[in-house]
Structure 1
Amino acid sequence: MLAAPACVTAQTWSSSEATFRLDTVAQGLEHPWSLAFLPDGDALVTERAGRLRVIRDGTLLPEPVQGLPELVVSGQGGLLDVLLHPEFRQNNTLFLSYAHRSPAGMTTRVARAELNGNRLTGVEVIFEALPRSGTSRHFAGRMAFDAQGNLYIAVGDRGEMDRAQDTGDDAGGVHRITPEGKPAPGNPFLADSQANDTLFTYGNRNIQGMTVHPETGAIWTHEHGPRGGDEINILRAGTNYGWPEITYGIDYSGLPISLDTKQPGMAQPLHYWDPSIAPSGMAFYTGTLFPQWQGDLFVGALKMQKLVRLEIVDGKVTEEEDLLTDLGERIRAVNMGPDGALWLLTDAPRGNVYRMVPAQ
């Protein structure tokens, strides 16, 4: 089991159903982005600045993991998600998403590697979104495995919104591959010579949260809108999620992006926010520390600096509650821990790792 943290916040918070506190597990991380729990009780944390760190026995080890793939830290890009292979206990394999630069521009890449001690070995690039672009935003990068062992990879529109409607462009969509990097069997565009065989969905702006429903196995995502229009969606093969042809948001300038919120052939979000909360990270609660939260969906918020609890009944949001509104930190990632606690990462030059546990 994961060890107790080194220090504990004195403050407690109350929600409509629980009283809880935050245990501070680690401090001083440079824009922590993602968290993965190892079978031996350690935890891996990515720093967007390009480091993979280890938390062991409640302590952040000073030496980063060595052997990372070549990456670029620029704007919103850097080292992004870390995800363990479903058979990590047998093969020590993990996956990293990150921004990469070449003379042709920047893009989102995914590499697989083996974790041996404090070093990655056998690093292999298994996915690269094309074409590249000169922009430094909307890399997306969230990943998840489904029950069949397929890997889902979110790629943002790179701030060039029309790319999201072009199925011949890897940007602005979700891609599904095997752990070896091949297009997953049954992908929806395999017969389309203009589309990448890895493409699974399109019309996605910038997915920053991805998780698996604990009962149905469906992949749930959320993505940033512009000024308003943040969305929660359930991924379905071949679906067009509409960006930028339909949106509940407006441009940062205040001008409309589209006059439509609905069009035939384009999916409606399960839930949306207006104004934008800038969601990031999401997890279903499946632990026993808060039995009253079983099955609830938790979403972090960067702009609004809070944690949102959504009660889900029959695939629909029936209740929404804002938590940690006075914490004053941008919540980047939300993870369901093997210890039954919710784990949070906060996005800052000196970000924190927290465990949410009952106050008693």
Structure 2
Amino acid sequence: MKSSITISFLALLSWLSACQSSSSKNTEVPLAGEPTLKTTVIVNNREIIWGMDFLPNGDLLFTEKKGTIARYSTNGTIQEISGVPAGIVSNGQGGLLDIKVHPNYATNGWIYISYAASESGVNGAVLKLTRFKLNGNTITNTETIFQTKTPNTWYGHYGSRIIFDKAGLLYLSIGEGGSTSYGGVGSGNMNAQDTKSDWGKVHRMTDDGKVPSDNPVLPGNTTATTVFSYGHRNPQGMTYDPVNNRIWENEHGPMGGDEINLVEKGKNYGWPLVSYGKNYDGVAVSSNPTSNGITDPLKYWVPSIAPSGMAVITSDKFKSWKSNVLTGSLKFNYVSRAVLQGTTITKDEKILEGIGRVRNVKQGPDGAIYVAVEGPGRIIRVTGE
């Protein structure tokens, strides 16, 4: 009996060793019904890559915070795009941020970018949403369709993700433009609760920047504006779920209190009135993390993971992970995989651990997941097998 036990124990050690060896490679050992992940670096040695989106032919456009746009072609070449708008401010958290190809690009040719921009005689930077067309690799027909009415003097919390819904309406997330810790009633953090301010909001507009007729009239206003929801701190992840017609968003808290939310018309998401986070002096932002009239997050992280980028898996290539929601972690260098039951997050698993500071996550038209990481700037293609 003792000999049998010894042999079994040695066999177990051998199996564990094999598993450990396998997981150190660029594939992950799956559970039954789950995909085996394979990673391939397709873009390397760049600056901070912030935004990514695909042209109909499969080419990948990406932005760098410093103010450049490049095209990664399906043949593996990278070409720089010329004619990027002047006046981009890359101080602090600013720079050239997101990029989004119009869903009807094949017929209208529009591409959208968001960026922090200087204005003559103004202290700070406004956030602009500009669209343009491409003639080869040259930008033409540049047109700014939205910009914040007031500047961001702290040069941070720009948010700045761009998505479209199935009706062709455009959504732009904007942070509150305030300091890292809540500074009180008179601080810039309160922009998020000021329904007349553009900061700390998710905006909803037509593809040329107009206010849709069914946008909400928010408290304190007499007419609808582009503001769709408010009370957001720094939403650097936002994605559209075309299957369920849902808008998912993630945002940074201070020390803890990072959130995942479903963005809904006219809702107040609480910042800085309530939060699960603490200020950087260790004092809780609010005595209670919930309140009447405030929409609670579907998930929050304590401590912070510094979420950025977001994607919903719609591809069958990822097997049982289909419909899961992915969020990048800048702080802990992994991708969070949220499992859903309806709109309830039942599980949050770390995948691609150690991949690097994740700035963006995007599902491509080929069904693969594309992850932009920092240090150096890379884009990694992730496939499920």
TM over 0.5: yes
Decide whether aligned partners of structure 1 residues 321 and 191 sit closer, same or farther in structure 2, where only a CA change above 3 A counts: closer
Does residue 353 (structure 1) correspond to residue 370 (structure 2)? The answer is no
- Asked whether 1:82 is paired with 2:109, we answer no
1:290-309 equivalences under 5 Å are: 290-309=318-337
Q: Residues 154-192 of structure 1: CA distance to partner in whole angstroms, max 9, x if unpaired? A: 111112211111111111111111111111221112896
Equivalent in 14, 18, 29 of residue 14 of structure 1: 29
**Cα gap change, 1:307 to 1:166, in 2 (>3 Å):** same
1:92 Cα deviation (Å)? 1.2
Taking the aligned partners of 1:336 and 1:57, their CA distance within structure 2 comes to: 15
- 8 Å Cα contact 2:38/2:382 also seen in 1: yes
Tell whether the 8 Å contact from 2:218 to 2:266 is kept in structure 1 after alignment: no
Structure 2 stretches lacking a partner, 5+ long: 1-23, 179-187
CA contact (8 A) 1:169 1:195 kept: no
Report the Cα distance in structure 2 between the residues aligned to 1:15 and 1:333, rounded to whole angstroms: 24
What's the CA shift for 1:204? 0.3
Quote the residue 1:277 is aligned against.
305
Residue 156 (structure 1) aligned with residue 172 (structure 2): no
Please tell me whether residue 206 in structure 1 is matched to residue 234 in structure 2: yes
Superposed displacement of residue 14, structure 1 = 2.7
TM-score by length of structure 1 reads 0.92
Contact 1:33 1:347 (C-alpha < 8 Å) held by counterparts: no
Matched to 1:76, the amino acid is Q
Q: How far has the Cα of 1:60 moved from its partner?
A: 4.4
Is the partner of 2:284 in helix, strand or coil?
A: coil
Q: Distance in 2 between matches of 1:204 and 1:190?
A: 15
Q: Structure 2: which amino acid aligns with 1:235?
A: V
- Write out aligned runs for 1:68-217 (5 A): 68-70=84-86, 71-102=88-119, 103-104=121-122, 105-159=124-178, 160-189=188-217, 193=221, 197-217=225-245
> 1:24 and 2:41 equivalent?
yes
Measure the CA separation in 1 of the matches of 2:127 and 2:77.
27
Cα pair 2:216 2:224 within 8 Å, conserved? no
Higher percent of residues as strand: 1
The 3-state SS of whatever aligns with 1:90 is: helix
Aligned-residue CA RMSD in angstroms? 1.7
- 2:195–2:219 CA contact under 8 A, matched in 1: no
Deviation at 1:243, TM superposition (A): 0.2
Amino acid at match of 1:300: G
- Provide TM-score, normalisation by structure 2: 0.87
SS in 1 for 2:80: coil
Equivalent residues in 2 for 1:202-241 (5 A)? 202-241=230-269
- How far apart, CA to CA, are the structure 2 residues paired with 1:271 and 1:175? 22
CA contact (8 A) 1:157 1:205 kept: yes
Q: How many residues align?
A: 348
Measure the CA separation in 2 of the matches of 1:22 and 1:139. Answer: 30
Q: Distance in 2 between matches of 1:173 and 1:57?
A: 36
Task: Report the secondary structure of 1:132's partner residue.
Answer: coil
Note the alpha carbon deviations across 1:16-59, whole angstroms, 9 max, x for none. Answer: 43321211111012100111111112110111110000101352
Is this contact kept in 2: 1:129–1:155, CA < 8 A? no
The alignment status of 1:52 with 2:69, answered yes or no, reads yes
Deviation of 1:214 (Å) = 2.9
Gapped runs of 5+ residues in structure 1? 1-8
Give 1:344's aligned residue.
371
Contact residue 201 and residue 240 of structure 1 kept, 8 A = yes
- Tell me, yes or no, if the aligned pair for 1:245 and 1:260 is still in contact at 8 Å: no
Instruction: Could you list the structure 1 runs, at least 4 aligned residues long, displaced by more than 4 angstroms after superposition.
Output: 190-196
